[in-house]
Amino acid sequence: MGVVNVTPDSFSDGGEFLDAGAAIAHARRLVEEGAGILDIGGESTRPGAEPVPGQEELRRVLPVLEGIAAAEVGAQVSIDTSKASVARAAIGAGATLVNDVTALRGDPAMAEVIADAGVECCLMHMLGEPRTMQSGVGGPQYKDVVDEVKAFLEERLRFAVGAGVREERIMLDPGIGFGKTVSHNLELLARLHELTRLGRPLVVGTSRKGFLGRILADATGAEEPVGPAGRLPGTIATNVLAFERGASVFRVHDVAPVGDALAVTAATLGGRWTPRGTTTQTS
């Protein structure tokens, strides 16, 4: 899943692809590098991010979605939004996957939009909302982060199915970095296989995340976390571990190097890495 942020304030590439033409060209490059899904987002969900009005979000993403559809790039198109109005318009422009970081909690109309359109969706765990998810004394708190994330995803899966979304069209995301400390993220990655018992494909998004920068800084004794541009080795390592533990969709900024690493990992484990694209969708 290649990331296309049409935002001015995303943590790693904010502003780079705010122009529709630049975003469309970037999407084409990601497909050439091996992306089977393009995740188009017009609202940053980095820690502390402010909400974006629906009309502004649509203004950012619709020209990109329409341009990708016209270019026939050969990948499934996902809309990264928690607003039903944005999802509805994006589906009309060719999106067949809704990536909702609120797991259908942000907008009461979202489940109906997804169910009526018969598209796929990704339900993600997040503690709180982007503005508050990393705040509080001592940071986010869990008794057992894996058990609590699993219970949340199981409940949201039941909710979505009860709202008419077909179970075979649902993916689940533990929400690495969304209301979690470094230790929480590492615990989720180490025990990711426990989430495969939910029976749905697992999406993992560690790409360029802040916890990688802190780990790399600690390893070298640096005072400041390594910046987003220096987090590719950590991104590769975490995706390889996630693949070994059962994840099947990898949301990344750097498609080619991560894809190469997954191909080698799959071969080592006795299998073959096949990016998930439109040809493998459930009918």
Residues serving a catalytic function are 209, 251
Cα-based angle 197, 202, 208 (whole degrees, multiple of 5): 140
> Beta-carbon neighbour count of residue 188 at 10 Å?
25
Cα-based angle 207, 210, 213 (whole degrees, multiple of 5): 95
Per-residue DSSP letter, 200: S
Please, which residues have CB within 8 angstroms of residue 255's CB and are 6 or more apart in sequence? 2, 30, 33, 34, 35
Q: Which residues, listed in sequence order, are joined to residue 79 by a DSSP beta bridge?
A: 40, 98
CB 9 within 8 A of CB 56: no
